[in-house]
């Protein structure tokens, strides 16, 4: 018999573009999306700060995330193509207050 890890019930989902960051919380069982918000990237110093702001704003605590970014993912450090944000994939989860296994390359 194989062991499977339980699916977390909710996760942060995000689409990070050059001008705006779009966030929502997804129910991973029903695939329903809630708490959709859009923020200007220029209003936050970093992606981690924007994530913390969003989660605080909607009153959610999640340990997992799926994030789409406007940038090539060639190495650990990601520099957005049309925005000044850059981040380390390996450090982002901790900086944003998410679980350590939130981001998978």
- pLDDT tens digits, one per residue of 39-98: 999 999 999 999 999 999 999 889 889 999 988 888 889 998 888 899 998 899 889 988
Domains of the chain as residue ranges with CATH: 10-96 (3.30.420.40)
Predicted confidence at residue 46, as pLDDT, reads 94
Q: Give residue 58's pLDDT.
A: 95
* pLDDT at residue number 105: 36
Provide the pLDDT for residue 93: 86
- If residue 86 lies in a helix (H) or strand (E), which one and from where to where? strand 86-88
Residue 16: exposed, middle, or buried by beta-carbon count in 10 A (0-12, 13-18, 19+)?
A: buried
- For the record, the structure tokens of 88 come out as 């380390």
pLDDT at residue 5 is higher than 70: no
This prediction has a pTM of: 0.84
Q: Rounded to whole angstroms, how far apart are CA atoms 66 and 86?
A: 17
Q: In what helix (H) or strand (E) does residue 40 lie, and over which residues does it extend?
A: strand 33-40
Instruction: Determine the Cα–Cα distance for residues 24 and 26; give it in Å rounded to an integer.
Output: 6
H-helix segments, 1-105: 47-58, 89-96
């Amino acid at each position: 018999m194989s062991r499977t890890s339980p699916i977390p019930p909710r996760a942060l989902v995000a689409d990070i573009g050059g001008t705006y960051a779009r966030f929502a919380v997804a129910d991973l069982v029903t695939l329903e999306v809630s708490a959709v918000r859009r923020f200007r990237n220029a209003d936050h110093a970093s992606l981690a700060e924007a994530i913390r702001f969003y989660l605080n704003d909607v009153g959610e605590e999640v340990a997992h995330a799926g994030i789409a970014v406007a940038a090539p993912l060639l190495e650990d450090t990601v520099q957005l193509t049309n925005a000044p944000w850059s981040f380390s994939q390996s450090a982002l989860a901790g900086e944003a207050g998410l679980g350590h296994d939130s981001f998978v390359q």
